[in-house]
Amino acid sequence: MAQRAENPLISQAAEWLSRRQRDTLSPEEQRAFDAWLDASPHHAVAYARVESTWERAQRLQAAPPAPKSSHWRVLPSRRRDVFVAAAVLLLLIGGGSWWVLHPEAYRTGVGERRTVALADGSRVELNTASVVRVDYSRQGREVWLQEGEALFDVAKDANRPFVVRAGNVVVQAVGTMFNVRLLGRQQVEVTVTEGVVTVNGRSKPTRSTTSPEPMPRTIMAGTGALAGPEAVTTVRLDHESLKQRTAWQRDLIELRGETLEQAVAEFNRYRTVPMVVGDPRIASIRIGGTFATGESPKFLAALRTGFNVAAVEGPGDTVYLVPAR
């Protein structure tokens, strides 16, 4: 019982699987199952793993019969199913539950950039303060972008789609290269540099007939998309815009008329101590230039000489930007 308490998600998934294998769910039970499945991506992953283990156990059960001394052959069908379910649960608790609850994860610290080679030959490049989880199976390749930004260089495999989930957004590709950036909790920016991807603004499946699943949008190379829970908008990117969006892969920040407030937010992604626009009168100043991601001092010097903006150190080493006297 202590093991079950430590793995509630495994226990819940195994219980749902047992109920669905044993009987046809009533409409109320089906709605409850759908609600549980939709509550979190962890639930869907856990259920898929439990179901996969169940199928392996069933294949073992279908193997040639054991000698007559075996108790397995004489078990009634219902008791045998319960035994298989218990074996599945024990297997998951004993060794498989860590993978269900903790798929392989990669992360970067503030100001760090990291390239990860995946098992299928795909490559993920993480920008500053980013986290991805990777879950590969025989049926598909799934990656969750939990924080930050990443570039995905996808190895072609027509039989296993490559799916990136970021917030409420799903990006799918077979073999291509694209960039995904989380913008707060609701918006995701997608930039396609090679090939074609599909983008959908809803990551969880909808089973209600009154709320149809939004149609995915096809995004070609040289196109950007801004995706939210219910809508995806696209824009063609010229060479300079594409270069700006991917500048972080060269450890650069390219500013092309962004406001001071926007520029500061971009630099703060690479700083452990933030900069703050301390006076609204200077927040709308437009900034241009190319800086290394770690070149905050050069940026502050440019503000001083070009826009008469001073940097003042405040509590906790926070840097406040104010009009110079």
Whole-angstrom distance, CA of residue 119 vs CA of residue 316: 43
Which of the listed CATH numbers 3.40.50.300, 3.30.300.180, 3.55.50.30, 2.40.100.10 matches domain 251-323? 3.55.50.30
CA distance 122 to 93: 30
**What SS3 class is residue 5?**
helix
Poorest-pLDDT segment among 92-106, 138-152, 229-243, 273-287: 92-106
Residue whose tokens read 């815009």: 241
Tell me the H-state helices in the chain.
Answer: 2-6, 8-22, 27-38, 41-61, 77-91, 97-101, 239-245, 260-268, 296-307
**Global pTM value:** 0.67
Note the pLDDT of residue 72: 41
Q: Is 179 left (phi over 0), alpha (psi -120 to 50) or beta?
A: beta
Burial per residue of 294-315, b for 16 or more beta-carbon CB atoms within 10 angstroms, e otherwise: ebbeebbebbeeebebbbeeee
- Say which residue, 9 or 210, is predicted with more confidence: 9
Going by pLDDT thresholds of 50, 70 and 90, the confidence category of residue 63 is low
Q: Domain spans of the chain?
A: 2-101, 104-241, 251-323
Look up the CATH number of domain 104-241.
Answer: 2.60.120.1440
| CA dist 15 → 42, 45, 48, 118, 195 (Å) | 16, 15, 13, 33, 42
Q: What's the pLDDT tens digit per position in 284-310?
A: 999 999 999 999 999 999 999 999 999
- Provide mean pLDDT across the span 180-189: 89
**Burial label, 149 (beta-carbon count in 10 A; 0-12, 13-18, 19+):** buried
